[in-house]
């Protein structure tokens, strides 16, 4: 069964500070992603790539269409799901690596990485989190510290570790290598490839052409979904 299906998805933003002007962003978004497949979304800034990821994750509600995530032997429509159901999907089905690390102040890095599974206090899971931080070249001296004062690249590697550690069926990636040097970009490419081999369905925004060519099985030009004025 397909892991993820979008059918006729559309999104319009209402500009409440500009007399309620409505700004159509995308319309007719339709594609599927199979287990073990990586689909890259491409197009110029502002065309709606991040909005698609946010609708899949449930951060944005779509105006029309369906966003179907495979859950066991059925599908759940994120577009119609209640907030509690969306939170459950994030724990069990879909992970998201954003461009920016959002973490509770004063929480140590190791706990931030281990937390998404809900098992941050279990030793095996903390060990897995530590192994992933080592692989992403985050110095062990930083693990007990909150990451607010870390460099942009260090924060992004922590963000990647946090998103990749859970073994979820669907993974969303929003510019996962934007702040990374060549060595760490290669590590992330290898981690994405491993996720694919394990059957994870991936949708990503990757402006780095080398990264995109290394991991993407298919490219979708989001400009084809631009609403007609």
Partnered with residue 32 across adjacent β-strands are 5
Model confidence at 68, pLDDT cuts 50, 70, 90, reads very high
CATH of the domain at 217: 3.40.50.300
Residue 102, in any domain of the structure? yes
What's the pLDDT at 126? 85
| Tens digits of residue pLDDT in 34-62 | 999 999 999 998 899 999 999 999 999 99
Residue 81, in any domain of the structure? no
| Tens digits of residue pLDDT in 131-165 | 999 999 999 999 999 988 888 888 899 999 999 99
Q: How far apart are CA 197 and CA 222, in angstroms?
A: 26
Which SS3 state, helix, strand or coil, does residue 21 take? strand
Residue 18, in any domain of the structure? no
Residue 83, in any domain of the structure? no
Return the structure tokens found at 155: 């924060």
Q: Which domain holds residue 57?
A: 35-61+93-225
| Tens digits of residue pLDDT in 98-131 | 887 776 678 899 988 987 644 555 677 788 999 9
Report the predicted TM-score, pTM, of the whole model to 2 decimal places.
Answer: 0.91
Q: How far apart are CA 33 and CA 212, in angstroms?
A: 16
The domain tally of the chain equals: 1
What's the pLDDT at 24? 81
Which SS3 state, helix, strand or coil, does residue 81 take? coil
pLDDT at 186 over 90: yes
Residue 75, in any domain of the structure? no
Q: How far apart are CA 58 and CA 89, in angstroms?
A: 9
Residue 14, in any domain of the structure? no
If you search the block for the tokens 């607010």, which residue do you land on?
148
Judged by phi (left if over 0) then psi (alpha if -120 to 50, else beta), residue 132 lies in alpha
**34, 86, 168 from 95: Cα distances, Å:** 16, 12, 7
Which SS3 state, helix, strand or coil, does residue 184 take? helix
Q: What percent of the chain has pLDDT over 70?
A: 92
DSSP 108: -
Model confidence at 17, pLDDT cuts 50, 70, 90, reads low
Residue 118, in any domain of the structure? yes
Residue 79, in any domain of the structure? no
pLDDT at 81 over 90: yes
């Amino acid at each position: 069964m397909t892991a993820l299906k979008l059918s006729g998805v559309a999104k319009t933003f209402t500009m409440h500070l500009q007399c309620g002007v409505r700004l159509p962003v995308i319309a007719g978004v339709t594609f599927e992603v199979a287990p073990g497949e990586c689909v890259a979304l491409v197009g110029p800034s502002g065309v709606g790539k991040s909005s698609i990821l946010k609708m899949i994750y449930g951060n944005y509600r779509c105006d029309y269409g369906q966003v179907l995530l495979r859950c066991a032997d059925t599908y759940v429509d994120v577009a119609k799901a209640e907030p509690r159901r969306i939170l459950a999907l994030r724990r069990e089905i879909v992970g998201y690596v954003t461009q920016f690390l959002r973490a509770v102040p004063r929480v140590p890095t190791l706990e931030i990485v281990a937390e998404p599974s809900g098992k941050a206090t279990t030793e095996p899971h903390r060990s897995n989190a530590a192994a992933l931080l080592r692989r992403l070249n985050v110095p062990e001296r930083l693990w007990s510290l909150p990451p607010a004062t870390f460099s942009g690249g260090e924060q992004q590697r922590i963000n990647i570790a946090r998103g990749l550690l859970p073994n979820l069926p669907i993974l969303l990636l929003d510019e996962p290598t934007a702040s990374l040097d060549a060595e760490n970009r290669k590590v992330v490419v290898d981690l994405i490839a491993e996720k694919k081999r394990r059957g994870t369905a991936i949708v990503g925004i990757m402006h780095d052409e080398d990264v995109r060519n290394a991991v993407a099985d298919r490219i979708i030009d989001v400009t084809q979904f631009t609403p007609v004025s």
